[in-house]
Chain A
Amino acid sequence: MASGSTTPIAATARAEASLLPGLIKDAGLFALVTLGLCVPIVSYRTDLGQGIGLVITSRWGTVFALCAAIFVLRLVQQLYLTGRARRRAARAPVVEGASRLAAILAPITLVVALTLPLLASLLTGSLGEGRYWIDLGILILTYVMLGWGLNIVVGLAGLLDLGYVAFYAVGAYSYALLSTVFGLSFWICLPLAGLFAAAFGVLLGFPVLRLRGDYLAIVTLAFGEIIRLVLINWTDFSGGAAGISSIPRVSFFGLPFTAGENGFAATFGLSFNAMHRLVFLYYLILVLALVTNLVTLRMRRLPLGRAWEALREDEIACRSLGIDTTITKLTAFALGAMFAGFAGSFFAVRQAFVSPESFNFLESAIILAIVVLGGMGSQIGVAIAAIVMIGGPELLRNLGFLKAVFGEGFDPNEYRLLLFGLAMVAMMVFRPRGLISERTPSVTIAERGR
């Protein structure tokens, strides 16, 4: 052993050197396939010209740049993989890193979330200047809440719901219609919206939940699309494609955010500031999101939550142990739908405008992507995925040097969904159990130690 301690390393180094031509050939093959894929869809761009018909411009430069990029990426990946295999052999794998990272990130994220309006106004000078950051915070938190809601369905119960946005739409339209037609206040509509959405969840769930996983996904997708198409076409009910506008704004539990006598500012002896409403909205969605999180965490400790996780791991085993799979699935579905309903009515009160286009399949896909990238079942993972995926492109847009590198018309938002798609595939291929933390069942048998 002692004498052999140097030779294996030398041997692997030699082996790697002899591997290199093979790796280059492999990467070359990848580049060649990329070239094939790029013809003609990247190499020739079609545009509507001045006259009739399309004008073609060739862009072989882009194609070759892409091929070169793929070549380099593949080579680096292969070198890394062979290197890792060698390191793996040398010492035991480290798995604790990810969960320790999550344990540190969670409190930091929470503290930043709680103090964001303060931070924003301190860093930018005044509350008004910090508006952009608070707006962004509201947007991200909405997705965090939706992600947590969907996490109950996908992450805990293992039911793939591709029509989650339908329940979001039900919530949004509930508030929009109840407030504009019947003049009900937001605080009455919020629970009602959750109830309606949950009712829709049960209504849809009852017939479809006995379907197998991927059929269920497709049915929920169809359901989501039907809701959207009905909202577009049933003009008398929903205002059609134009949507519903001038939805009443949120009030501070009855006190409107106005400059007048009975307004929020006057009652509390503050000077009127239009930002009060925005800050209030921010804390409202933060509370809603945290409630979602809290309920989920508590549910995981209840028998029902345990049943969800058991269902996700093995449905047949569940059934043979006497768990009522229909009720178990239905509660997960309804609870997830309810939180989407809350988020939806929040969306309506924040925008003061709803239209069917906010609730298309892409929105469902984005929420699903957040849950998947967060590691399906991990709460902090979903939150961080939402921050990165919603906040990331927003921040990139403001970075000047990207424009210098990629040209003036560069807009990272264009590439956002493209990267979402790639990231979803990459997650499934490389880290199917989550990027930030692992999707572990709440209880495991110690001996098996999963």
Chain B
Amino acid sequence: MEFFAQQFINGLTLGSIYGLIAIGYTMVFGIIGMVNFAHGDVFMVSAFIALIAFLILTTWLGLSSVALVFLIVLVIAMALTALWGWAIERVAYRPLRGSFRLAPLISAIGVSIFLSNFVQVVQGARNKPVPPLVRDVVVLYQNEQYTVTLSYKQAIIMITTAVLLAGFWYLVQKTPFGRAQRAVEQDRRMAALLGINVDRTISLTFVLGAALAAVAGTLYLLYYGVVSFSDGFVPGVKAFTAAVLGGIGSLPGAVIGGIIIGLIETFWSAYFSIEYKDVAAFLILIVVLIFKPSGILGRPEVEKV
């Protein structure tokens, strides 16, 4: 039971990160109906930006306040990754509206290959470790054999995720931008006729998705303390799985899906075999896509002529 509780906490942490990335997939899919294959690599780029910002702040500027460093790194990573998201949409996806069906996906695969190899060229192929920022743990429960702990890291990850999701939910539900975004999602042409700047709305969607991926990237770096150029692919696929599982196009679905995937992965590693944990995630993806492509909270899709 203690083991289970500990794994549950670990799974929840991992799931928060997946959920943050999954929002980027789900929003983009909702608004322009494409699988943004490069999103996982945007996440990886953000982790690198966070890594470098962290190193500059701690070694060159000598900041020692953990909370301050974390906040500054988070803001820098979000801002710069958002720029990446904007630029990618502008260069690789916007010219393709109205092109043939698979063009955006192929372009996204191209961006994905470009990003991972770009980072490999400019930062080198080796793993980049950072010293742990926070080490403390809170003991939640203790008996002779086992201790259930919640590390500060995990708490930070869950709290940051919760706060950002609340803010994000507010943004989409209550602000003019959110209304515009939902309108474009429902009917792009009608939205344009009603005076919504469709291009800008789509751009902003990419910017927001990238910013949330940057949060995930920063938290990932905080949690694992290491990042490499190839780290975008597998978390990207898992987050996409989460988005599909939760019902692609649905924001709460993405978070729920992320948490489910995080829990499944953690429990699978703990109780079955750690070698096959990625196989588990991929299998879930295949099974969900085949049997329930609309996911938990999604609307079934109707194909129109």
Contact = CB atoms under 8 A, between A and B. Distances in A.
* Interaction A to B: yes
A365 interface: yes
A316 interface: yes
B55, B112, B124 pick with most chain A CB within 10 angstroms: B55
Interface stretch (A127-135, A209-217, A381-389): A209-217
Contacts of B142: none
A37 B83 contact: yes
Interface in B91-141: 91-92, 95-96, 99-107, 109-115, 117-124, 126, 128-131
A229 interface: yes
B188 to A, nearest CB: 18
Interface in B250-305: 273, 275-276, 278-279, 282-283, 285-286, 289-290, 293, 301, 303, 305
B80, B107, B120, B123 pick with most chain A CB within 10 angstroms: B107
A157 to B, nearest CB: 12
A39 B219 CA distance: 20
A421 B278 contact: no
B172 interface: no
A162 B109 contact: yes
A420 B115 CA distance: 11
B289 A215 contact: yes
Given A41-B119, A222-B282, A428 B289 contact: no
B121 A414 contact: yes
A46 B52 contact: yes
Contact of A40 (B53, B106, B305): B53
B89 to A, nearest CB: 12
Q: What's the dominant secondary structure at chain B's contact region?
A: helix
B293 A53 contact: no
Contact of B130 (A36, A54, A162): A54
Given A48-B126, A215-B289, A428 B110 contact: yes
A207 B109 contact: no
Given A36-B83, A41-B48, A417 B113 contact: yes
Given A36-B80, A428-B103, A432-B103, A56 B52 contact: yes
A429 B92 contact: yes
A422 B99 contact: no
The size bracket of the interface on B is 35 or more
Contact of B49 (A40, A158, A162, A232): A40
B156 interface: no
Nearest to A315: B303
A409 B147 CA distance: 52
B96 to A, nearest CB: 6
A423 B114 CA distance: 9
Nearest to B79: A36
A428 B99 contact: yes
B51 interface: yes
Contacts of B105: 160, 213-214, 217
Nearest to A162: B109
A326 B94 CA distance: 33
Contacts of B45: 41
Given A33-B87, A214-B105, A225-B278, A41 B52 contact: yes
Contacts of B120: 414
A418 B114 contact: yes
Given A52-B131, A372-B106, A421 B111 contact: yes
Nearest to A217: B105
A280 interface: no
Given A37-B87, A40-B56, A56-B55, A160 B106 contact: yes
Interface in A391-440: 414-415, 417-418, 420-425, 427-429, 432
Given A208-B289, A213-B101, A428 B121 contact: no
11 contacts: A158-B102, A208-B289, A213-B101, A213-B105, A221-B237, A222-B282, A222-B286, A223-B282, A225-B278, A369-B113, A429-B91
Given A53-B59, A214-B102, 12 more contacts: A40-B53, A42-B122, A45-B122, A158-B102, A213-B102, A226-B279, A226-B282, A229-B279, A418-B114, A421-B110, A428-B92, A428-B103
Interface of B: 34-35, 45, 48-49, 51-53, 55-56, 59-60, 80, 83-84, 87, 91-92, 95-96, 99-107, 109-115, 117-124, 126, 128-131, 233, 237, 240, 273, 275-276, 278-279, 282-283, 285-286, 289-290, 293, 301, 303, 305
Interface of A: 33, 36-37, 39-42, 44-48, 52-54, 56, 158, 160, 162, 207-208, 211-215, 217-219, 221-223, 225-226, 229-230, 232-233, 316, 361-362, 365, 368-369, 372, 414-415, 417-418, 420-425, 427-429, 432
